[in-house]
Structure 1
Amino acid sequence: MASGLQRRLLLLLLAPLLLLAALNTWFDFRSADSAALEQDRQLLAMVPMMAASVVARGATDDAPPVLLMAPPLEDFLAQRPSLSAYAFVAREGSVLVGDSWLSGMPPATGEPEFSSQEFDGVTYRIVSQRVHTVAGDLVLRLADGSDPRQQWLRLLWLKVGLPNLVLAVAAFFAVNWAVRRALRPLIELKEAVESRSPRDLSALDAEGSPDEVRPLVLSLNRLFDLVNAQAESQRRFVADAAHQLRTPLAGLQAQVEAWAQAVGATAAKAHPEHVYMENSHLAPAELEGIAITLEASQVFKLRQAVRRTSQLANQLLALSRADARSANTQAMQRVDLRQLCEMLLETHLDAASAKEMDLGLEAVDVHATGHEWLLRELLGNLLDNAIRYTPRGGAITLRCGWAQEPGMDAAQPFLEVEDNGPGVPVAERTRMLERFYRLTGTQGEGSGLGLAIAEEIARVHHSHLQVLDGHGGRGLRMRLSLPA
């Protein structure tokens, strides 16, 4: 937009300047032409006086005639010692008296003839006419090299072209600078809009905008307010719905858990030869080898469905709370990453032990700037995903420390969760951070929101979630770099 306006302004401003330069050149030529016409009249007026200057024949036929110059002629020749010349030429073209370079064939008629001729680097205006003198019929030639029209054509590039060219170049730079300076607020507005995150809908500075652009800025701000209000309404709806669902889901889950325990106990008494394992993390497929009644199997499936629904409600609420626009309203604090990792390790240790996994911690004392409750949610989702999708007996490592990212001058704090599971194809790693996206052929249960929530939390901390290969090329590493 700005570049288009700039080109148009430059064109509209420079075109008149170039037109004025062309008019100036045309007027200069007109002035020179007028001066040349005046010079032609002056030369023609001196022809009779020049003819009257012949006062006698020469002593012989080949001798030059005797001349007696009138005072106006003497003044004319004296004022132009190197720019004037005259000659009396015989009918055969030879010069009888005067400058020899003015020789040539006489005019065909008795009318005066004007011509231009260059001699010794000077362009002369010459008038030639047959005249009758006391020495007989002669051809008179009078030349004037001070004619401005003749010199103008030779020095056109210096006297007209060069000044106009310099003027055009200077005008271009001056106008370009003025246009750029005048359009700077508009260009800054364009850059401010282009550099914004799609999630940043804060109002633009209307007071710092020019009067001509202020209505546009105000209209954009109104549009931002409408979109912001709509997004806020949607976030409130999701948060309220998830919050309202938590209470009845918690009650339902408690009743189903109690029912499942009772049914499990009954099944164990009915089939004492089988060992009943009460494990909240067993999937329905893992229960197939346990001989229980059809009623118990349905109860366990119902319990898993209630757990998934409760988890989805909690994740929707977490996603609403982790939204970048709402989280940015709270100030960031100094977070002890080692203490955070130790707390998450203790929370997920039972779930990892149930699947016979080795859940370890590699941590150093490191602090970062961020929202502790959001980082806790991020680590919890990463650990849940690792435990859920890593095969039984696998290894999961939770890390925090310092690392220098490519392109950074100094090391940054980081959080990392690594597993030795099946990993994720490189082509799928970008999409796995999208909401409700699950990899094809993924075993286990989930809603596809855990990594989307983690990515949203990374955006709040002005970073992004990195999906890397595990050490040795096996498994997956999820890393988040944070400001120190």
Structure 2
Amino acid sequence: MLIAPLILLAVLNAWFDYQSAGNVATQQDQRLLALVPLLADSVIGDVDDRPLLMLAPPMEDFLKERRSASYAVLDLDGKVLQGADWLGGLPPSDNEPEFHSEEHSGTTWRIVRQRQRTVFGDVVVALGDGSDPRQQWARAVLYKVLLPNLVLLAGAAFAVRWAVERALAPLLALKEAVERRSPRDLSAIDAQASPEEVRPLVDSLNRLFGLVNAQAESQRRFVADAAHQLRTPLAGLQAQVEAWAQAAGAPPSAGTLALPTEQVYKLRNATRRTSQLANQLLALSRADARAMQSQPQQRVDLKALCEDSLQAHLDAASARHIDLGLDADPVLVMGHEWLLRELLSNLVDNAVKYTHEGGAVTIRCGRRGAQPYLEVEDDGPGVAAQEMPRILERFYRVQGTQGEGTGLGLAIAEEIARVHHGHLQLQAGAGGRGLKVTLPLPG
């Protein structure tokens, strides 16, 4: 945008120089034409059939001023009678002056020829001026217009690039800071660290972040409050339904009515799913990465965590004849213990729930190189490669999956992984069977 006007100015400058040179050339032609009669009047006689000259004072002044000036007196056939031989040539066909430019000895001359009547007779007077402004204009264009403007353009391009990069450096830093942010990071940008010119933009972004953050926080609180309020009545309802299910499985005593066993079991299963959903929604709300950023971390013993999870799920695994194993090495990491416990519980619960009866589930922790990790592997039906990215989404369940579930277990685990600055790694288990879920943790 800046170089284009500079080029235009250079062209305009050259055009004005050309106009100026044209005006000077016109004045030069007029002066030469005015000197032609004076040169003719300088012929005062003849000597040996050659004209005798006594130059008029204006002619002498002209020749002294212009070292690159020359003259000649020719006969009507163009032969030089007096003066510079190189000015000879075809004479004009009439009495009108004839102007032209001619190259001689590396100089461009402006020459005028005209027939004149003198005491010697009719002759042709030729007068040349080597200070042709047209030639000077061509040199001026090269040395005074083109080269300086090319240097100016190069310098301007460098200066503009340096100035723009220096001026926009804070804005580019702001751009990179925004690009590096997680989609969940809605904290305000430091306006004082931004250049004054973009502070209104930073203030607008901060207001937008604040509105979105407030809306997300409102939704989070609503989910947490709703899930928390549902836990108590659902717990009571589940207790009642569990009692009915036990009563339905026992033989009816005298004076009691037999309960419809199938309907009671369906009600019990629905109550369990609803209670689990409420607990998972509450866990998901509490595990929100934005809400946990300000919470302090502490040292967590991953081996003890794995052992507790093994104990908690051993009965459920035994009921389905699943070999629930532990492969744990002592390792300590910085994190939120109750969140990592929730993550591991969800992973193990999923593995036990979806692995076929008689299968195997292994809980692991330790280090691979310098990287601590938590891992749960099963030999169940596994997940197709194209489905793996989607099973971390909330409420998503693989088509055709058997068993109860809400599609929140892995979503909660992924949310907890984000709190610990990581992501769940999903891959097939040993021998291409089942699913292996790994969480790398900071050392």
Normalised TM-score (structure 2):
0.91
* Partner AA of 1:182 in structure 2: A
2:43 match: 54
Q: Out of 160, 185, 192, which is 2:177 matched to?
A: 192
Cα deviation, 1:147-171, whole Å, max 9, x if unaligned, reads 2322323663444222222222322
Aligned positions of 1:31-42 closer than 5 A: 31-42=20-31
Q: Out of 414, 427, 435, which is 1:468 matched to?
A: 427
* Partner AA of 1:99 in structure 2: A
Report if aligned partners of 1:112, 1:127 keep a CA contact under 8 Å in 2.
Answer: yes
Mapped to 1, the partners of 2:6 and 2:298 lie a distance apart of: 60
Mapped to 1, the partners of 2:401 and 2:19 lie a distance apart of: 89
Query: Is 1:402 aligned with 2:367?
Result: yes
Name stretches of at least 5 consecutive residues in structure 2 with no aligned partner. Answer: none
Aligned positions of 1:191-230 closer than 5 A: 191-230=176-215
Report if aligned partners of 2:375, 2:436 keep a CA contact under 8 Å in 1.
Answer: yes
- The alpha-carbon distance between structure 1 residues 433 and 142, as it changes in their structure 2 partners (threshold 3 A), is same
Give the secondary structure class of the aligned counterpart of 2:39. helix
Query: Aligned-pair distance for 1:38?
Result: 3.4
- The alpha-carbon distance between structure 1 residues 300 and 148, as it changes in their structure 2 partners (threshold 3 A), is same
- The alpha-carbon distance between structure 1 residues 133 and 430, as it changes in their structure 2 partners (threshold 3 A), is same
Query: Aligned-pair distance for 1:58?
Result: 3.7
Q: Out of 73, 78, 82, which is 1:93 matched to?
A: 78
Report if aligned partners of 2:99, 2:110 keep a CA contact under 8 Å in 1.
Answer: yes
- The alpha-carbon distance between structure 1 residues 429 and 143, as it changes in their structure 2 partners (threshold 3 A), is same
Cα deviation, 1:349-392, whole Å, max 9, x if unaligned, reads 22222211111222223333322221111111110000000001
Name stretches of at least 5 consecutive residues in structure 1 with no aligned partner. Answer: 1-10, 271-292, 405-410
Cα deviation, 1:46-74, whole Å, max 9, x if unaligned, reads 323322333332413xxx43333455544
Mapped to 1, the partners of 2:333 and 2:89 lie a distance apart of: 102
* Partner AA of 1:224 in structure 2: F
- The alpha-carbon distance between structure 1 residues 120 and 372, as it changes in their structure 2 partners (threshold 3 A), is farther
Report if aligned partners of 1:206, 1:217 keep a CA contact under 8 Å in 2.
Answer: yes
Query: Is 1:432 aligned with 2:418?
Result: no
Percent identity of equivalent pairs: 66
Give the secondary structure class of the aligned counterpart of 1:422. coil
Q: After alignment, is 412-421 or 161-170 more displaced?
A: 161-170
2:340 match: 375
Give the secondary structure class of the aligned counterpart of 1:126. strand
Q: Out of 125, 130, 135, which is 1:140 matched to?
A: 125
* Partner AA of 2:343 in structure 1: L
Mapped to 1, the partners of 2:8 and 2:219 lie a distance apart of: 60
Query: Is 1:349 aligned with 2:314?
Result: yes
Cα deviation, 1:297-323, whole Å, max 9, x if unaligned, reads 332222222211111110000000111
Query: Aligned-pair distance for 1:238?
Result: 0.6
Mapped to 2, the partners of 1:200 and 1:176 lie a distance apart of: 33
Cα deviation, 1:389-442, whole Å, max 9, x if unaligned, reads 0001111111223336xxxxxx42221111111110011111111111111110
Q: Out of 130, 135, 155, which is 1:170 matched to?
A: 155
Report if aligned partners of 2:3, 2:156 keep a CA contact under 8 Å in 1.
Answer: yes
Give the secondary structure class of the aligned counterpart of 1:441. coil
Aligned positions of 1:226-265 closer than 5 A: 226-265=211-250
* Partner AA of 1:266 in structure 2: P
Give the secondary structure class of the aligned counterpart of 2:191. coil
Q: For this pair of structures, how many residues does the alignment match? A: 440
* Partner AA of 1:29 in structure 2: Y
Mapped to 2, the partners of 1:90 and 1:164 lie a distance apart of: 50
Mapped to 1, the partners of 2:361 and 2:349 lie a distance apart of: 11
Q: After alignment, is 388-397 or 116-125 more displaced?
A: 116-125
Mapped to 1, the partners of 2:214 and 2:184 lie a distance apart of: 13
Query: Aligned-pair distance for 1:472?
Result: 1.6
1:273 match: none
